[in-house]
Each structure stands twice: as C-alpha cells, then as structure tokens.
Chain A
Amino acid sequence: MSLLKKLAFATALATVMLSAPAAIAQTKIALVVKSLGNGFFDAANKGAQEAAAELGDVEVIYTGPTTATAEGQIEIINSLIAQNVNAIAISANDPDAVAPALKRAMERGITVISWDSGVAQDGRQVHLNPSDTGLIGETIIKLAADYLPDGGDVAILSASSTATNQNAWIEAAKAILPTKFPNINLVATVYGDDDSVKSTNEAKGLIASYPNLKAIIAPTTVGVVAAAQVVTDDNLIGKINVTGLALPSEFKKFIDNGASQAVALWNPIDLGYSAVQISYQLVKGTAKAEPGATISIGRVGSITLDDTNSAAMAAPFQFDKSNIEEFSKIY
C-alpha cells in the first residue's frame, strides 16, 4: 500500500513538474492531418513548427489517425476538445462527417480552420486552399514562358476533356495569355486521359504536328511524366521544354536530365506554416473570420477571405534544379 502511495505521489509530482512550463500561457494549435506517416503531411508539420518558432508562444500538436478515416479524426478531435487546445487546423478525410465534432469544438470556444482538404462551411471558420484556378492557370504558362525569352509555340497536354479542374485551369491560362504573355503562342490542347500510354501517344503527335514546338505544358502529374519521357527518348532535350504540375519525387529525373527546366505543385511546408499563422491570429483576435477579411500569413504573404470564408494561399510552388532534390524526398 505504501508503495502504491509513493508511486501515486511520484506520478503526481512528475505531472506537476511536467506541466509547470505550460504556465507561460502557450497557445496550443493542433495540426490534424488525414493520416500519419505521409510525407506530404510531415512536410506540412515542418512548416507548422517553423511558424510556431517564429511566433514564439505557440505549441503545435501534430496528430492524425493511423488510417485515413473520418471516424479516426473524430476520436482525435474529441481528445483535442478535452485538452482545451486553442485551435484545430485540419485537413479532413471527409468534409461532412467531421463537421458535427468540429461544431462541438467551436461551441466550446476552440478556433477551427481547415486547410488542404476542406470541411463543410458550418464546421470551420476559415478554409485555406493551396491555390486557386486563376493562379494555377497563370503559373502553368509562366513556367513555360520563363524559359522562352523570345516567345514561341507551346501546347497543352491535359488529362481527360471532361476533367473539371484541368479545364478550369486551361481556361484561366487562355484568358491570361494575350495580356501577360503576348509572345507565347498556344497551338493546341490535347487530352491524354491521365493514362500513360495515351499521354505518350498524344505527346508524340504534338511533336510531329508542330515542328516549331518549344514547350509542352501538362497540368497533370501523369501527362507531365509521359511527355518528359517522350522528350528524353526522342533526344529532344534542349529543344522542347516539358513543364506543368508534377510530383517532385516522380519527376526529379527529368529535371536532372534537362528534359524539364521547372515544374510546380502545392508546397506542403507553406501550407502547414500558413495554417498555424492563420489559427494563431484568429485565436488572438488580431484577425477575423468574415468575408472580405485580409489575414497576413508571415513570409508567404497574405490571403483575402471570399464569401464562403475560404482563401487561396499562393501560386503553385516552383521546383527546379535548385530545390528538386530536397522536395523529392518529401512527396
């Protein structure tokens, strides 16, 4: 019995000592991800820790279920509510299923934002998209134009002709061409259906049909790899530059061999960084979650909330020879 008492006393003492540093009133921000053990989210956590170090009085709790399920995230939300965290920043496995639990969190005074994968509007205060249609459309053209100082012919190799995202990006790109990139000539848009074989054939077709082609833009991770492989196999490196949206880990070899100068995609580090910045300011009351509000996000810039309290973080992040090595290890 006395041993038990001693143990209990020691545990209590340890608890008090462990919790003592917390008395400096830290702001506890939970970064809830779809699942642990995913390089993309580990990178987001890296950014979140960076923001915490910058802000000083922030403790980031990086957490998520083992498998990417809504039920697992709800269990985590419940335990975060019990811990009285100040904010929850979540990339949701299901926009609707986690909403009731997050509503309960907000009722108990916790700031809730979603990032990357959003939550239904009534289940969060702010949603942070990695980017938006206009910015992506501009970026994919800019990626080609940056390496064509004298302009020239470019073509787009897209996913399927019915892919909502890609079509919106291509429309935005076309809209911006005459004003911002007057010497870039978009000669064709073809569709590889996100199928390696079809994308390869379409890329070969483009090269055959347009002898003056200077760049192939593929705003899809499947198409961009297929096009770069064709350029590599046909010894066209240096003649045709392949660019678009690509996963750094899949695409590193084509940056290394010169088939591509640069590609882009969302930057998870910046996403985690921005999520913590936004949560912190909402907790401190220095920013408000209302349509039209502008929130500064440190080194990444600032965002403006739209009618649904969502905002786009930034243009897709560019990967080239200088940083592909680092990011290919992340995702």
Chain B
Amino acid sequence: MSNDAPTHRNIPDRLDSPLRAAILSWPALLLVVAVIIFTVNSFASPYFLSPWSLSDATFNFTEKAIIALAMALLIISGEIDLSVAAIIALASTAMGLALQYGADTPALVAIGIGTGLLCGAFNGALVTRLGLPSIVVTIGTMSLFRGLSYIVLGDQAFKGYPASFAFFGQGYVWWVVSFEFVLFLGLAVIYYVLLHRTSFGRRVYVIGNNATAAQFSGVRVERIKFLLFCLTGLMSGIAAVLLTSRLGSTRPSIAQGWELEVITMVVLGGVSILGGSGSIAGVVIAAFIMGLVTFGMGLLNVPGIVQSIFIGLLLILVIALPIVLGRLRRLRK
C-alpha cells in the first residue's frame, strides 16, 4: 500500500464485476475447501456418506456455530467475547438449579436463554459504560461466570431433566434432520438478513472500520455494541439449552474451551479479527468445514491432537492464501 504514489489515486466506484467478485470471494474459496474435504472424506471412509453419520456429525458443531453467528457481528464491530463458554456453564447451572425447584420445560428454556442474555448485557455494560477493552472484560467474566457454576456445583452434577426437555438437543424434526440443525439454519438466515440487508448491519461494519468516524456520523456506537454483546449472550444461552438437553446433565466443566473453537470458526469464515469485514455465509461454511474435518478424521480414528494440528494448519493456510495470491497479483502488475 505504502508503495503507491500518494498524489495520484484512482478510486473506482466498483472494484470488480459482481460475478467476478463473487467467484473470488472468501465464501467461494471456503466452499471449494468444503467440497474438497467432503470428497476426500467420502473416499477415505466408507461410513462417511450415510445420512445418519452426517446427521450425527452436525451435532459436533451446531451449538458452537450458533454462537459463532453472533460472535461474527461482534468481531466485525471490533469487539470480542471470550466468556461465551462460561456463559453456557452459568446458564446451564441456572437451569439445573431451577430444575431442583421443579421448573418445567418451558421455564427451563426461558431461564437458560434469559441467563445468557443477562450475562451478555453484563459484558456489554462493562465494555460500553465503563469503556473497558472487551478482551479484558470478557477474560474476567469468563472466570467469573464459570467460577459461579463451580461454587454452586463443586464436583456435583444436576441431572434428571424432564423427558420433553431432551427434544432440543436430541430430537429430530424430520427423518435425520435434527432440531438443532434446523434452528442453526434458521438463525443463519436471520443473521444474514441482519448483517447484510439492514442499516443495523451497515452500522456494524462502519463501527468496525472506524468507530470515531461512525460516532461523528451519528451512529450510536455504544448502543449498537451493547446490543451485540446482548446478542452474543443470547446465542450462548440458546447453545446452553441445546447442549444441556443433549448431555442431559450439567457440570461446571460443561463446554470447556469452546470460546476458542467459536472464534476459530469466525476467523476461518473470513471475519477480520481487527474488525470491519466478514460475512455470515463465510462463517456458516467455516462451521461446516470444521465439523466435516473433525468428523471425517474421527471416522479414521485420527487422534484428537492431530486433528487440532490439522485445524490450525487449515486456519493458517486459508488465511494466508488470499494474502499470498494478492501479493503475487500485485507483483505481476
């Protein structure tokens, strides 16, 4: 960039033709990767291409992907939330406590989602009202929320959730299509519309690119950031309901380490960790890629540590590829 002559700069109103842009876009690149992984998996294991296998595979990533949708918006706006897994633990513990006092299924769901929303609002208030950096705030609340679960539960577990509650994490809407999966697809559409088709979405991008400029342009930066934290908390609450239902029990160690997997999904999906760019389509495809890679390697009984190495390499490769290609293109010019 700095090599360009500063005096003479041409600003085109459109960078490429829309079709060309779509083909060269991040989601398109990810889609190619996803298709390659799918094909390799189909050949590598005779068990991969079975409807039940693929359905089981979706359970490994849907809850994380649901959080990733909201996390994408938050990161695009230039903030981050590291407490999402801890919110799951606290929301799940709240549901378990309510169960001890005889709460029924609708009440459990409301309490789980409500706790998530409150946690998100708490994060949002600390960041926007006190002006603290979100990475510091959410490292703190990560310990706080999970610490509260440990105080309530210690080495014990809440179990005995009602049979009707099991539907959310174990139920199927139609044949092999799980409720979790349908919910994820529905939420993905909502987030797509929210980010790419509303003025709210445009403001999120503006804030991520230049919060100060956004502020002076009349965008209510703090309010939008607060809402984004609430949304992330809300999605964590929903994920807590799904995961608790799937496990049928609550322990304070629930969803341990998920915050990094969620953020990996978002970054792999092409969202800039510095904020300002990214798309929902990319995040959705990245969720599928991570799900397919881990499940495919699981079928081949590849040890977990090798899987982590592979995901790490994939992340670096996919992030580095466009940068390297861009450099090459500039070199040719």
Contact = CB atoms under 8 A, between A and B. Distances in A.
A293 to B, nearest CB: 28
Contacts of B243: 71
B143 interface: no
B53 interface: yes
Interface in B204-246: 243, 246
Nearest to B40: A11
Contacts of A38: none
B251 A79 contact: no
Nearest to B296: A79
Contacts of B128: none
Given A36-B305, A82-B53, A97-B248, A69 B256 contact: yes
A96 B248 contact: yes
A100 B247 contact: yes
Interface in A46-78: 61, 63-67, 69-72, 74-76, 78
A78 B59 contact: yes
Contact of A82 (B44, B52, B294): B52
Contact of B303 (A15, A63, A96): A63
A84 interface: yes
Interface band, chain A:
20 to 34
B312 interface: no
B247 A82 contact: no
Interface in B287-304: 294-295, 298-299, 301, 303-304
A81 interface: yes
B170 A82 contact: no
B308 A66 contact: yes
A100 B44 contact: no
B304 A79 contact: no
Given A8-B43, A36-B305, A100-B166, A81 B251 contact: no
Interface residues of B, number: 41
A94 interface: yes
A15 B71 CA distance: 40
Majority DSSP secondary structure for residues of B touching A: helix
B305 A83 contact: no
Interface string B20-63: 00000000000000000001100111111010110011011000
Contacts of B56: 78-79, 81-82
B157 interface: yes
A238 interface: no
B46 A11 contact: no
A15 B43 contact: yes
A79 B304 CA distance: 12
A160 B61 CA distance: 44
Contact of A70 (B48, B251, B298, B299): B251
* B39, B43, B170, B308 pick with most chain A CB within 10 angstroms: B43
Contacts of A95: 157
Contacts of B50: 82
A11 to B, nearest CB: 4
Contacts of B294: 75
B105 interface: no
Nearest to B294: A75
Contacts of A61: 301
B159 interface: yes
B206 to A, nearest CB: 37
Nearest to A8: B43
A327 to B, nearest CB: 24
B42 to A, nearest CB: 9
Given A36-B305, A94-B157, A100-B246, A82 B60 contact: no
Contact of B248 (A8, A36, A37, A100): A100
Nearest to B249: A96
A70 B247 contact: yes
Contacts of A67: 256-257
Contacts of B170: 100
A75 to B, nearest CB: 5
A16 to B, nearest CB: 9
A67 B258 CA distance: 12
Nearest to A82: B53
Given A15-B46, A66-B307, 8 more contacts: A8-B39, A11-B40, A63-B301, A65-B304, A66-B304, A69-B256, A82-B295, A100-B247
Interface of B: 39-40, 43-48, 50, 52-53, 56-57, 59-60, 157, 159, 166, 170, 243, 246-249, 251, 253-258, 294-295, 298-299, 301, 303-305, 307-308
5 contacts: A69-B253, A69-B257, A78-B56, A82-B50, A96-B159
